Every structure is written in structure tokens, then in C-alpha cells.
Amino acid sequence: MSRSEANKLNFIIALVAEFAATFSIGEKQAYNYLKRFKGMDYLSEFYDVMHTLSFEETISSLAMVCNRNGGKLIYSV
């Protein structure tokens, strides 16, 4: 695994954990939610930009994407 792939994987793992904590759900449930409602696809496609943002901004974006694809979790500050 290259260094850039390892960095991407570490970012995604940390982001899923933070998403889970933000919505008070388990990490596996958070991953499944993001996968089901296209958040993981969005994260993979726009990783180059998203990893430069704060976790708060990234979680907000992911929640919006998931909401547009049928997810029910709403992010509020």
C-alpha cells in the first residue's frame, strides 16, 4: 500500500469514527449509513478536496449528500 493510499484510508477511518460520534451511533452503523446513502462514494470522489476541510465541514457535507439520497440524519451545529 502506498503512502497516499494509507493516508486516505486513515482519513476515512477517522472520519467514520467522528461521524459516528456526531450522530451518537456505532462506527459500523455509521459506515453502513454512509455506504447505503452514497456518502462513501462522495468521499471517494472528492477526497482531494475534503481532506483539506475540517471534520465538521466534511461531516456536514456528507450528511447533506446522504440526506439527498434518502438518509434521515440531519446535521445541526
- 23-70 pLDDT, tens digit per residue, is 999 999 999 999 999 999 999 999 999 999 999 999 999 999 999 999
- 33 is a domain residue: yes
- Helical H segments across the chain, by residue range: 3-22, 27-36, 39-45, 47-50, 55-68
Looking at the 3D structure of the chain, how many domains does it have? 1
Rounded to whole angstroms, the Cα distance separating 1 from 24 reads 32
User: Does residue 76 sit within a domain?
Assistant: no
> Which residue range forms the structural domain that includes residue 7?
3-68
* pTM score, whole prediction: 0.92
| 44 part of a folded domain | yes
Angstrom distance (rounded) from CA 32 to CA 30 = 5
